[in-house]
Amino acid sequence: MSKAKLLIVDDTPENIDLLVSILAGAELDILAANSGERALELVPRTQPDLVLLDVMMPGIDGFETCRRLRALPGGQDLPVIFVTARAEDTSQGFAAGGVDYIAKPVRADEVRARVHHHLEKRRLLRDLQQLNAQLETRVRERTQELVQANRQLREEINERRFMQDRLSYLATHDFVTRLYNRDALETHVQSLLGQASRGDDSACIVLVELARFSIVNDACGYIAGDELLRQVADLLAALAAGDDFIARLGGDRFAIICPRSTDTVLALGQRIKRAFEGFVFYWDGRPYSVDARVAVVPIGTEYYSFEQVMAKADEASYLARREGGPGVRLHQPSPREADPREAVNWAYRLLDALKSDHFRVFYQRIVPLQDGLPNGLRFETLIRLWDPEQQRVISPAAFIGPAERYQIIDQVDRWMLRAVLGQLAALPAELLQRVELVSINLSAYSLRDAGLADYILGLLADHPCAPSKLCFEITETEAIVNLEVAQAFMHRLKAAGLRFSLDDFGTGFASFAYLKRLPFDSLKIDGAFVRDMDHDEANATMVRSMVQMAQALGLPVVAEFVESARIAAALRELGVQYAQGYHFHQPEGLSEAALRSAV
């Protein structure tokens, strides 16, 4: 087996020599670069498995180097560990694309442990991809001898399952405490927020932040600090209930999601507080007293995203730290507590845009890939925001998040419905007749709006547009998490002739059984799998399996993010009926002239 390649990037030769000496016996092929520019030259040629990257360097610093590495071919999967002496660099490092960090002055055991952890994770991922490819080939070749080969095949499947489980564990757990990590917490909270039946007093988040943790870390070293974190994790697990979700947020901070009333969770917070009053950490025979600050935040129905919940939790943690006191802080969130500057920048801005009609409707054509399909015009409508001061168009990536956070997204969706139907109604009859299908996205918040179905039917009654021409796109996760709500909404509008498409298929967890319960007319494969399927076998396999599931359900498939003729040809060969993307059409403003040029 070939050695793993490690690239050390640091402008100080002594630092490079120190890291090399620490990792000397680790069976690594170690490379070095003395600047970010040199690292960007080496990575495409040497294809390292891991990068240890210094933050403070002349020229481009570590953060910018990491961002540029991510833009290189294959750079998205290259793990980068930042090496820094400043604790405040960590959040910026994660934002730049880093997967971990090592604090200076470096500790030999910590460097070896973190390097080993990320190299193992990368090796497992590669082994899993290779084994998946091998298994697919073997299953095809051994169909006729399935009975004889059954035992061997079972062993190989078990081996793959072990690797998948191991990789899933590494992706969702903190390797120090073995608790869930922040990514797993985000998934859990988003699932909780999607529950239609939850009330204002049905769940809380408990923030636990250690006091005097840095004393142990600085006096005894990072090995002692990691052991303290493990003991704290065991303490929290012993106090929490079986259905509580415990995660380490990073550093000395922990979070517990409790699906119970505020009073019950406050009692848990008090038990945690009392437990730390008697908690003593011993290292080398010396005792250390470690206290904790505890804050409880109810997760009310005004929240619709993980970012909202964590912003309020961080605020509660900050207030508990600032105000001190022996008790547990209960922080009651309110939508009015949002940052005023942020509210001015987005909430008021979006409300003004709605009032002044500053939104714009763009469209992108959906083209047939197979012969014999209807030749009518199909397209997806896309919303954009016009900035009159800077005379430019703002993409939805900038304003959809704030619109959801400040609960304006339902108004934005209704504006879009009015605008699209109004523009379609204004088309000449002969041009409207050539329009076969118009897709409109619906947000998660709007899907839970009990009055939306009546609103849509009222718009259709006022506009001369056949309901069968309209198709609403609903994301996979939202449809399954709110299954009953989605079913009621869809059946009501299906009865009136409207159509539905399952958007971003492949990113959620829809099973064959779930899809059979929902009356979708088509499936749209998420573009993250399509855009690089011509050189990523794993994504190509995913697309193939999704097409097969759609064929089993008897539903046509639309592939988005088609950006080359090669990908279009591959999709056509798989039997995909429709595609959209920059290869066929770049989004443009919806107008009669644009539609006439399209047909």
Residue 295, CA distances (Å) to 56, 150, 212, 254, 541 in order:
35, 55, 17, 11, 46
Same domain, 291 and 369: no
Backbone angles phi, psi at 544, to 5 degrees: -60, -45
Does some domain include residue 389? yes
Same domain, 301 and 395: no
Does some domain include residue 319? yes
What is the pLDDT, as a whole number, of residue 138? 80
Same domain, 361 and 303: no
Q: At 79, which CATH number? A: 3.40.50.2300
Same domain, 380 and 286: no
The answer to whether 555 and 522 have CB atoms below 8 angstroms apart is: yes
Backbone angles phi, psi at 9, to 5 degrees: -120, 115
In this predicted model, what pLDDT tens digit does every residue of 293-321 receive, in sequence order? 888 888 877 777 787 787 777 767 766 66
Given a cut of 60, whether residue 480 has pLDDT beyond it is: no
Pairwise CA distance, residues 372 & 540, whole Å: 25
Same domain, 239 and 361: no
Q: At 276, which CATH number? A: 3.30.70.270
Give the pLDDT band of residue 337 (cuts 50, 70, 90).
very low
The count of structural domains within the chain is: 3
Given a cut of 60, whether residue 430 has pLDDT beyond it is: yes
Q: Give the mean model confidence (pLDDT) for residues 2-21.
A: 90
Same domain, 500 and 427: yes
In this predicted model, what pLDDT tens digit does every residue of 62-82 receive, in sequence order? 899 999 998 998 888 899 999
Examine the fold and report which residue of 288, 309, 337 is the final residue of a domain before the chain moves on.
Answer: 337
What is the Cβ-side half-sphere exposure of residue 469, based on CA atoms within 13 angstroms? 21
Give the pLDDT band of residue 384 (cuts 50, 70, 90).
very high
Q: Give the mean model confidence (pLDDT) for residues 24-45.
A: 89
Same domain, 357 and 329: no
Pairwise CA distance, residues 362 & 420, whole Å: 10
What is the pLDDT, as a whole number, of residue 338? 44
Q: At 551, which CATH number? A: 3.20.20.450
DSSP 322: H
Domain that holds residue 494: 352-598
What is the pLDDT, as a whole number, of residue 341? 42
Examine the fold and report which residue of 121, 140, 161 is the final residue of a domain before the chain moves on.
Answer: 121
Kindly report the three-state secondary structure assignment for every residue of 249-272.
Answer: EECCEEEEEECCCHHHHHHHHHHH
Given a cut of 90, whether residue 457 has pLDDT beyond it is: yes
Does some domain include residue 128? no
| pLDDT averaged over every residue in the chain | 85
Tokens of 389: 């001061």
Same domain, 327 and 361: no
In this predicted model, what pLDDT tens digit does every residue of 490-520 receive, in sequence order? 899 999 999 999 887 765 545 555 677 788 9
Same domain, 524 and 563: yes
Whose CA is closest to 331, among 340, 323, 341, 339? 323
What is the pLDDT, as a whole number, of residue 326? 61
Does some domain include residue 134? no
Examine the fold and report which residue of 305, 337, 369 is the final residue of a domain before the chain moves on.
Answer: 337
What is the pLDDT, as a whole number, of residue 60? 92
Whose CA is closest to 269, among 225, 207, 195? 207
What is the pLDDT, as a whole number, of residue 339? 46
Backbone angles phi, psi at 240, to 5 degrees: -75, 160
In this predicted model, what pLDDT tens digit does every residue of 89-122 receive, in sequence order? 778 888 888 888 898 888 988 888 888 998 888 8
List Cβ neighbours of 428 (8 Å cut-off, separation of 6 or more).
592
Q: What is the CA radius of gyration of the chain?
A: 27
Q: Which residue has the tokens 């929902």?
A: 518
Sequence-separated contacts (24+) of 350-358 with Cβ below 8 Å: 350/385, 350/399, 350/402, 350/403, 350/406, 350/408, 350/412, 351/408, 353/385, 353/386, 354/408, 354/411, 354/412, 354/415, 358/385, 358/386, 358/387, 358/388
Q: Which amino acid is at 533?
A: M
The answer to whether 40 and 69 have CB atoms below 8 angstroms apart is: yes
Pairwise CA distance, residues 254 & 175, whole Å: 14
Same domain, 278 and 360: no
Backbone angles phi, psi at 440, to 5 degrees: -130, 130
Give the pLDDT band of residue 450 (cuts 50, 70, 90).
confident
CB atoms within 10 A of CB 363: 23
In this predicted model, what pLDDT tens digit does every residue of 351-382 receive, in sequence order? 889 999 999 999 999 999 999 898 899 999 99
What is the pLDDT, as a whole number, of residue 343? 40
What is the pLDDT, as a whole number, of residue 332? 65
Given a cut of 50, whether residue 340 has pLDDT beyond it is: no
Pairwise CA distance, residues 243 & 239, whole Å: 12
What is the pLDDT, as a whole number, of residue 552? 86
Q: For the residues of 296-308, what is the DSSP string, one character each?
A: EEE--TT--SHHH
Highest mean pLDDT among 189-198, 313-322, 446-455, 520-529: 520-529
Same domain, 370 and 477: yes
Same domain, 306 and 370: no
Share of the chain above pLDDT 70, in %: 90
More confident residue, 248 or 538: 248
Alpha carbon of residue 84 to chain centroid = 27
- Buried b / exposed e across 441-467, counting CB within 10 Å, b at 16+? bbbbbbbbbeebbebbeebbeeeebee
Q: Give the mean model confidence (pLDDT) for residues 30-40.
A: 92
Does some domain include residue 592? yes
Does some domain include residue 343? no
What is the Cβ-side half-sphere exposure of residue 302, based on CA atoms within 13 angstroms? 12
- Cα four-point dihedral sign 64, 37, 6, 223: negative
The answer to whether 111 and 223 have CB atoms below 8 angstroms apart is: no
H helices then E strands: how many in the chain? 25, 22
Beta strands 4-9; 50-54: pairing state:
parallel
Q: Give the mean model confidence (pLDDT) for residues 476-486.
A: 63
Does some domain include residue 580? yes
Does some domain include residue 84? yes
